[in-house]
Chains A and B, each alone.
Chain A
Amino acid sequence: MSKAVKSLSRAAKPRLATPQHCVEEIRKDFPALHQTVRGGKPLVYLDNAATIQKPQAVLDAIQCFYSRDNSNVHRGLHELSERATKAYEGARETAQRFLGAADSRQIIFTRSTTEAINLVAQSYARTNLQAGDEIILSAMEHHSNIVPWQMVCEQVGAVLRVIPMNDAGELLMDEYDKLLNERTRFVSIVHLSNSLGTINPVQEIIRRAHARNVPVLVDGAQAVHHLVVDVNELDCDFYVFSGHKMYGPTGIGVLYGKTELLEAMPPYQGGGDMIRTVTFEKTTYAPLPYKFEAGTPNIAGAIGLAAALDYFGQFDREAIQAQEHELLAYTHERLAEIPGLRFIGTASEKAAIVSFVLEGIHPHDIGTILDMEGIAVRAGHHCTQPVMDRFGVPATVRASLALYTTREEIDKLVAGTRKVLEVLG
């Protein structure tokens, strides 16, 4: 692993002892934040739920790998390959520790959250489900936690059941209980909704599913950098997240799975690195985790992700959460002053994501006008069209916060939104 990463992981004292004071310090770690856009406007980056900016430590780790250790993993006898393998497997251990998993063999590197879900859908569900079996999702799933299950349903004749939500964007747990029955074979649920910001009671969802011996996958794409995730405590069967929403690079994701489930599952893809022996008559597969990592993996991506997790690990998680919570409350309070503004997603348990619409003004126009002010938000359906339908809107504007978001940026968002009213109101 790179020097930069090593030195960071050795940083003894957690930063962010006094949150507000430290944000300016933290911002120095993120080169992309320090630029102007749209003719000289300082960038206000509030599209962190789409992808988050990368700290210098991550950029250094990737650069260091390619400029010094670049080699293929698990096969070369030479020094570079040893270094690459060590760094790649070290990244797996970093991810294992981050999730609180017992064993690094439970960590499968994938391209993304999406690929991790597809892997479980095709390898676990397609193998184990039959016609008439039921898969439970929630009404606030990202398309990537809907479509892979629909594909399995088409393949095996299973049926999707959906936990509805109330007007605040909270799942109706009584309805969940009604959906759970003897035909339920799988539950796949988002931990933190990307379009509403709702934190779902996944532990309780898992407990109730397990009472019927039903395995549960938790989509943690948004959760990992806002909540403290411990897969043992959750007792989830699968947990998935992406590197790029966690201060790491794109193209790398993580699947955690319970060992007995992963071992029983057939490979997802065939190729090099996932085999023990190959003849034209019979191939035997490699043990975990390699069985699920066909082909040359995204080595630099895994190393970059580990650097991101190390970077993130230096902060006091409770202090981060407290800071984000305070900033979220401030964002809600300030935006609520704007006439005609309606929040989409007002769950009592919520994190770092604020979706809203303005009466009579299309979110795309809001997004464009904010962009002209240098403010990057997302305007659209956020890959959650069923959520938009549920709230009767074509799209929303979404501001999503990160470690480095400041109160001043929220003030600019509010001023920019007022400007929208001046232009189009």
Chain B
Amino acid sequence: MSDLRELYQEVILDHRRQPRNFREMEEANRRLEGYNPLCGDRVTVYLQVKDDVVQDVSFQGMGCAISTASASMMTELLKGKKVEEAEVIFKHFQDLVTGKSDGSDGVGKLVVFAGVSEFPLRVKCAILPWHTLRGALKQQADAVTTE
């Protein structure tokens, strides 16, 4: 059970049960859909970006516990951050979930996702909201997919 709890940490379970910023944002000036065809996870990320700062960010969609919690915590963390900071956090987060770092580097609360690195097939679940966010920030036209 201990390994299981390393992946499904209480914080992750909490965000899964009550996802934060889980809403459509009418005033969004960036939005993008992300899709993982392997498991059918879908997420739409909404952003309100002004002067290179993420004024507001929200998401909607359906997915597994890992992708839902990842999206939820991402929105909490990014509100008020500069666009370039979001990019830095993404890189750190990517390193964390792929096992290239231990999370001591600039991911803050997202360190709860460290357990994902033990499950290669679940890395995409954790990272889908982030890929979608990056696509939205770059004002990419086509939906993001993990494949």
Whole-angstrom distance from the CB of B104 to the nearest CB of chain A?
A: 25
Stretch binding the partner chain, chosen from B3-11, B94-102, B135-143: B3-11
Residues of A within 8 A of B39 (CB): 362-364, 379-381, 394-395
A9 within 8 Å of B by Cβ? no
Contact (Cβ within 8 A) A364 B125: yes
Residues of A within 8 A of B13 (CB): 423-424
Residues of B within 8 A of A298 (CB): none
Residues of B within 8 A of A381 (CB): 37-40
- Interface residue from B8, B16, B38, B65 paired with A380 (Cβ < 8 Å): B38
Most buried by A among B16, B41, B63, B65: B65
Cα(A39)–Cα(B41), bound, Å: 29
Which single residue of chain A is at the shortest CB-CB distance from B17?
A: A424
Whole-angstrom distance from the CB of A120 to the nearest CB of chain B?
A: 27
Residues of B within 8 A of A38 (CB): 3
List A385-415 residues whose CB lies under 8 Å from chain B.
Answer: 385, 388, 393-395
Contact (Cβ within 8 A) A368 B40: no
- Interface residue from A364, A393, A423 paired with B64 (Cβ < 8 Å): A364
Interface size class of A (residues with CB under 8 A): 20 to 34
A388 and B16 in contact, given A368-B122, A424-B8 (Cβ under 8 angstroms): no
B88 within 8 Å of A by Cβ? no
A395 and B119 in contact, given A39-B3, A365-B64 (Cβ under 8 angstroms): no
Contact with A along B36-60 (1 / 0, CB 8 A): 0111111000000000000000000
Contact (Cβ within 8 A) A424 B65: yes
Residues of A within 8 A of B64 (CB): 362-365
Cα(A388)–Cα(B62), bound, Å: 14
Whole-angstrom distance from the CB of B74 to the nearest CB of chain A?
A: 18
Residues of A within 8 A of B122 (CB): 364, 368
Whole-angstrom distance from the CB of B39 to the nearest CB of chain A?
A: 5
- Interface residue from B3, B8, B38, B65 paired with A362 (Cβ < 8 Å): B65
Residues of A within 8 A of B7 (CB): 368, 372
Cα(A394)–Cα(B36), bound, Å: 10
Contact (Cβ within 8 A) A394 B40: yes
Cα(A222)–Cα(B88), bound, Å: 48
Whole-angstrom distance from the CB of B111 to the nearest CB of chain A?
A: 20
Residues of A within 8 A of B65 (CB): 361-362, 365, 424
- Interface residue from A362, A369, A393, A423 paired with B63 (Cβ < 8 Å): A362
Cα(A363)–Cα(B66), bound, Å: 12
Residues of B within 8 A of A394 (CB): 39-42, 62
Whole-angstrom distance from the CB of A369 to the nearest CB of chain B?
A: 6
Contact (Cβ within 8 A) A369 B40: no
Cα(A162)–Cα(B69), bound, Å: 38
Cα(A381)–Cα(B40), bound, Å: 8
Contact with B along A341-372 (1 / 0, CB 8 A): 00000000000000000000111110011001
30 contacts between A and B (CB under 8 A): A38-B3, A39-B3, A361-B65, A362-B41, A362-B63, A362-B64, A363-B39, A364-B122, A364-B125, A365-B64, A365-B66, A368-B119, A369-B4, A369-B8, A372-B4, A372-B7, A380-B38, A380-B39, A380-B40, A381-B37, A381-B38, A381-B39, A381-B40, A385-B37, A393-B40, A394-B40, A395-B39, A423-B8, A424-B16, A424-B65
Contacts beyond the supplied A362-B39, A364-B64: 6 A-B pairs with Cβ under 8 Å: A39-B3, A381-B37, A381-B39, A394-B62, A423-B4, A423-B8
